[in-house]
Amino acid sequence: MRKQNKSYEPSKGLAFITRNKKVVATIIITLYLLVMIIIGVCLRGDLEQIAYSSEIVGGIFIMAGLVISVLQYTASSVENTILREKEKKVRAAEIANEFQAEIIPLSSMLADAYAKSGLDKDLLVKIEKKKLEMFDKDEVLSIVSLEEISQAYARLYGGYLSAHYTEKNLKRDADGKVTGVRFSKEEKDEAEQTIDLCIQNLSNKLEYFGICLNSGIADEDTVYQSLHSVFFQCVHMMYVFIFYSNTSESDRFFANMSSLYVRWKERYEKLVEQENKELINLKKNVKDRIVVKAKK
């Protein structure tokens, strides 16, 4: 996690200068005129001495003006940096809200179809165990075959249907006992369209999500902790369906989604490794204290 830099806080003096530029300029000019009047009075009208003194005083005020200009620029930069950070956090909160409202329902629908079809126990597990890096056709085919992809589509359609059947879909025997479930061609076509549209919409929304975070318009740290787990699951569920079409770098689909996945996965693994090391050290310290007590 990135730590906030407290040194970026502008001082009250810098803030006053930045917000009151005209007042500061008026004060400097007035002060310069007063100094020159005082010098003129003290030198009793000696023009040569007054001219010489004015050069010295003018140089001092020019240097002071340069210093104040630098301070103004510094203060403005600091305030702009803070403002941009706040705007990025606000945008991150908005994106997180959009994620919850638009992406979660789609991912829940797809996850339900995975569970009903049994794909969560074979295909999804197989993808989760693989280190995904290239997100292209060759990598997809190193995990599943073309036949398995085709079967996965069919099983998803069936999973969706099994989660949305009604009483009229039940087949019963003469005693009224349920013997199976049947669906019309229209219902099957609707299931295919629903699942296909779900994958399409979910992938497009996740690509937009990736664009917002990869471009830096939203603060990544704000959304990572709460959304990374769902994001990983979404990518895993859609992986064989949307990245199979990536056959060349010049025509790569969903590049922002895949690059965000790689970056977040590396971050996740580093955090897990760090937590494991801390846990091992904690257990070692406890063990050492127990050993010391036992010796006593």
Angle at Cα 171 formed by Cα 168 and Cα 176, nearest 5°? 100
Tokens of 6: 């407290």
Q: What pLDDT score was predicted for residue 3?
A: 44
Burial letters 197-227, b for 16+ CB under 10 A, else e: ebbeebbebbbbbbebbbeeebbbebbbeeb
Distance between CA 154 and CA 239 in Å, rounded? 16
Q: What pLDDT score was predicted for residue 5?
A: 45
Q: What pLDDT score was predicted for residue 213?
A: 94
Q: What pLDDT score was predicted for residue 178?
A: 80
Q: Angle, to 10 degrees, between the axis of helix 185-214 and the axis of helix 47-98?
A: 160
Q: What pLDDT score was predicted for residue 1?
A: 39
Distance between CA 85 and CA 218 in Å, rounded? 9
Q: What pLDDT score was predicted for residue 15?
A: 61
Tell me phi and psi for residue 141, to 5 degrees.
-75, -15
Distance between CA 123 and CA 144 in Å, rounded? 8
**All residues at 6 or more sequence positions from 76 whose CB lies less than 8 Å from its CB, including other chains:** 18
- pLDDT averaged over 10-residue windows placed end to end, the chain, 296 residues: 46 61 72 74 69 72 70 67 84 93 96 96 95 95 96 96 89 82 93 97 97 93 93 97 92 95 96 89 74 58
